[in-house]
Chain A
């Protein structure tokens, strides 16, 4: 099954993810600036930022352990692996059988746990606060995400992401009520997991509101660059997942130059629209107090469970 073109494609998909993820983040920031009536940074701003950070020296706290130094690499590797197994250009991915939807949730959890451990390693109050809050968000977002995947797997009788996307892509255009619920839940989870506005704010450094930023406050230089890059990869992976699950049209099952071109252009289009919608949500909503976040995520969790129930009730009646 792992034919040579498929392997090449897999590699291309990784490269595409690594290159496109900063662009997506740049695009979202641009849209946010426009919607906030500010002049926007260029689309490539994130690249410059990464280049600058890689160039800078690392300022390390004197009591940092090797876990602190290793964590950025592990987090980056997790996100790169995640973006490899999410079907973006094709569903024939040699790496897809290595990890299914449940394992994908595991990858995100692994990255989160390493980030939280690194946040607590220096022993500053900001780091521990961020780690605690991140784990608080995580323990509700993770099962909600898993339940969204479960709904999709119940429809497609598989937890393999490729199979799910193939099945959902091939179905006749019918509205699955369960998928509608799951879609809302997924959007809410993605907002929380990517440290976006109703739950967290990627641009804040105000102590009362920081979650993700507080956790990585001690990082600098190349370590910070890797973490920022990983965060943008996560946003990219989540966006592609959402598109693949709920708007799977345009992802070809075969590997050919023409179908690749179609897939690429449809992906770019979908990501552009998705990024704009994300910026719109962020602009229109206000940040929640930290203890409202569990309610927000609890709602997402309930919706995801409801999606499964609706599927059991309405869609399996044969």
Chain B
């Protein structure tokens, strides 16, 4: 799309990405200056984010634009392409980055973590590399951007590198990111085909044009699922998320959870709907099953966490699972040629990407403000903060309700669309898949309900009740810049929840090129108020009417109650049931609130309990909930790697005569082989 000056959107986009890189490098001018970073660099980054979102929003309806950059190795230039799929994710990136950057400007504290200039360097390089991942149109550029994304985020995660557990979390993250990267590289290798031996083969345009055999396309899909799944946190490669998110500074956690996980979703969508052409039904079913397991696992673990950022990290795993459920459903529909329904499922996925970016970034930023005010991440040491930090609390409530999937907030809309997509599966011409629908839909419903439990725990333990520690009485509310960042993301949550028809009209611009159809025709046919994805008789939802009716009833009730019964109020202590000593320690802790779920889902956890005996002078209770996957998968894998290394070490004897003998044997064997 040409703008007024005749430049293409992609030119503007590139300019904005360069602006981010410039801001990043500008951090090196005065790396120690805290004022410079917080008053100049981060606000500038936020502005660029906003402009990027606007440019991408305009480009959403345009035709795909391409560009070749004279960068890279000789004969291997970078190809860039801006189509509607990348534009949508760029909107997501820019929109979230605007909120998170402005929050970071206020969040930054003197003498915390790395030098402010260096942190800004890594942060803005992280943003720029994510934008390039979304713009890349060849395997080379994609992998370069993907790796810079992984590396810059690794440095951000380990910005408090003096603590050993943070170094450990960073190492784990880097390891899994690289398992994923290798797998993505192999996937591109397959997609390239063997037609082109030369340079042209590595472009996405070439990959798109090749029709792979069933075996090779399945292999490519499997590798992509593994690679992007590792980045997204799909089971069993999820273990880095609950380690890396608490380790990272809160704006970085927000960026990683809200945006970086979505680049993995972008990748899997790009490969499975754009580069590969004919999805097979069992791809869809396996993705669906994997997504369901991930979602349930995430939410069940999230319910028992007592570190607020770990809780959110597990909740991100749950949301990623739900996204994969939607992708699986879309692939299944697509494989049977039911493009309309595939569009419905895909719309729910894209919608949920936007939603999750908004509410999860918001919640992570909220934990950041709480962390700064109280210096603890442990839910057991918080409580009653709604009185001390009203801004953070009320904006956090929006995020929590959205995350719990409650109407009229945004989380509900995508959940609603996903459930609607499930209701159409009886149309599938395959008996066994039909049978799985009730089970899958039930699991999705259970996950959504459990998310409500988790969010009540998250919000209530932090903000409600009485302060569990004395120092909470001095907690300060977030500053102005932080409030702006939080309000921006909360406003996105509300807007995405209230105007679904408008959002779906835009999402159609993405699904149409990918699937050839969209759902807006039906969704908007009724009118802008009523979301009706298929036809109004079948299902409809009008969040504005919903919110208005609740508001009207609340107002009317308040008016009537206060008009007719002059509301007298007496403020006194809480009712103590005749037991005069009520302390804050009698409230539920995070462990206490999660206890029913620990009991119901006991087999899913690996628990170590230390119970006090009745003779203890100071009774002590401890429970540690661990992830089964560590013991089932990771520790055995680590042991196997160590064993292999020991075997190889056997060869290394430290005597030159032995090494010469190795060379001699190798020579003889090679000669023998060549002769033969």
- Verify that A and B bind, or say they do not: yes
Query: Which of A's residues lie within 8 Å of B, judged by CB?
Result: 54-55, 57-63, 65, 67, 73-74, 76-78, 80-81, 84, 95, 97-100, 102-103, 106-107, 109-110, 112-113, 116-117, 120-126, 128-129, 131-133, 135-136, 138-140, 142-143, 146-147, 150, 153-154, 157-160, 163, 217-218, 221-222, 226, 291, 294, 301, 304-305, 308-309, 312-313, 316
A67 to B390, CA, bound (A): 11
Check B407–A120 contact: CB distance below 8 A. Answer: no
Known: A139-B449, A143-B445, A308-B437. 12 other contacts (CB 8 A): A59-B572, A61-B574, A77-B551, A102-B416, A113-B404, A117-B456, A121-B460, A125-B586, A218-B574, A222-B561, A226-B561, A309-B438
CB distance from B17 to the nearest CB of A (A): 40
- Asked whether any CB of chain A lies closer than 8 Å to the CB of B588, the reply is yes
- Asked whether any CB of chain A lies closer than 8 Å to the CB of B557, the reply is yes
A164 to B546, CA, bound (A): 20
Are A143 and B596 CB-contacts (below 8 A) given A61-B573, A98-B541? no
Residue of B nearest to A120 (CB): B460
A220 to B137, CA, bound (A): 64
- List B contacts of A106 (CB < 8 A): 405-407, 412, 416
- Asked whether any CB of chain A lies closer than 8 Å to the CB of B111, the reply is no
Check A143–B449 contact: CB distance below 8 A. Answer: yes
Check B550–A81 contact: CB distance below 8 A. Answer: yes
Check A113–B437 contact: CB distance below 8 A. Answer: no
Check B584–A123 contact: CB distance below 8 A. Answer: yes
- List A contacts of B420 (CB < 8 A): 102, 159
- Asked whether any CB of chain A lies closer than 8 Å to the CB of B549, the reply is yes
Residue of A nearest to B539 (CB): A159
CB distance from A97 to the nearest CB of B (A): 4
CB distance from B483 to the nearest CB of A (A): 18
- Asked whether any CB of chain A lies closer than 8 Å to the CB of B565, the reply is yes
Check A123–B570 contact: CB distance below 8 A. Answer: no
B384-425 CB contacts (< 8 Å) to partner A? 384, 386-387, 397, 401, 404-407, 412, 416, 419-420, 422-423
A77 to B546, CA, bound (A): 11
Are A121 and B572 CB-contacts (below 8 A) given A98-B542, A102-B419? no
A80 to B554, CA, bound (A): 10
A132 to B575, CA, bound (A): 19
A5 to B568, CA, bound (A): 40
A-facing mask of B520-556, CB < 8 A → 1, else 0?
0000001000101000111111100110011101100
Instruction: Please list the 4 inter-chain residue pairs (A to B) with the smallest Cβ-Cβ separation, ordered nearest first.
Output: A123-B465, A308-B438, A143-B445, A123-B466
A63 to B406, CA, bound (A): 27
- List B contacts of A140 (CB < 8 A): 446, 449
Main secondary structure of the interface of A (DSSP, over half): helix
Check A61–B572 contact: CB distance below 8 A. Answer: yes
Are A73 and B423 CB-contacts (below 8 A) given A142-B452, A218-B574? no
The contact sample of 23 A-B pairs, CB cut-off 8 A, is A58-B567, A62-B571, A63-B384, A81-B550, A97-B530, A102-B539, A103-B546, A106-B406, A117-B456, A120-B465, A122-B466, A125-B587, A128-B592, A132-B595, A140-B449, A142-B449, A142-B452, A150-B422, A305-B442, A312-B434, A312-B437, A312-B438, A316-B426
CB distance from A66 to the nearest CB of B (A): 8
Check A163–B574 contact: CB distance below 8 A. Answer: no
- List B contacts of A110 (CB < 8 A): 401, 406-407
Query: Which of B's residues lie within 8 Å of A, judged by CB?
Result: 383-384, 386-387, 397, 401, 404-407, 412, 416, 419-420, 422-423, 426, 434-435, 437-439, 441-442, 445-446, 448-450, 452-453, 455-457, 459-461, 464-466, 526, 530, 532, 536-542, 545-546, 549-551, 553-554, 557-558, 561, 564-565, 567-577, 582, 584, 586-588, 592-593, 595-597, 599-600
A221 to B386, CA, bound (A): 24
Check A121–B538 contact: CB distance below 8 A. Answer: no
Check B460–A131 contact: CB distance below 8 A. Answer: yes
Residue of B nearest to A111 (CB): B406
Check A128–B554 contact: CB distance below 8 A. Answer: no
Are A109 and B406 CB-contacts (below 8 A) given A100-B540, A160-B540, A312-B438? yes
A182 to B74, CA, bound (A): 67
- List A contacts of B595 (CB < 8 A): 132
Residue in contact with A76 in the complex, picked from B397, B553, B565, CB distance below 8 Å: B553
A157 to B597, CA, bound (A): 35
Residue in contact with B464 in the complex, picked from A107, A117, A132, A153, CB distance below 8 Å: A117
Residue of B nearest to A117 (CB): B460
Residue of B nearest to A147 (CB): B442
A313 to B601, CA, bound (A): 30
Are A135 and B456 CB-contacts (below 8 A) given A65-B386, A157-B538, A312-B435? yes
Residue of B nearest to A222 (CB): B561
Check B435–A62 contact: CB distance below 8 A. Answer: no
Residue in contact with B599 in the complex, picked from A59, A291, A312, CB distance below 8 Å: A291
CB distance from B325 to the nearest CB of A (A): 15
Residue of B nearest to A63 (CB): B466
- Residue among B434, B435, B593 with most chain A CB within 10 A: B593
CB distance from B587 to the nearest CB of A (A): 5
- List B contacts of A55 (CB < 8 A): 565
- List B contacts of A142 (CB < 8 A): 445, 448-449, 452
Residue of A nearest to B424 (CB): A157
- List B contacts of A124 (CB < 8 A): 574-576, 582, 586-587
Check B401–A113 contact: CB distance below 8 A. Answer: yes
Check B465–A74 contact: CB distance below 8 A. Answer: no
Are A160 and B538 CB-contacts (below 8 A) given A76-B557, A128-B593? yes
CB distance from A266 to the nearest CB of B (A): 25
A107 to B547, CA, bound (A): 11
Check A73–B558 contact: CB distance below 8 A. Answer: yes
Check B574–A158 contact: CB distance below 8 A. Answer: no
Check B452–A113 contact: CB distance below 8 A. Answer: yes
Check B567–A222 contact: CB distance below 8 A. Answer: yes
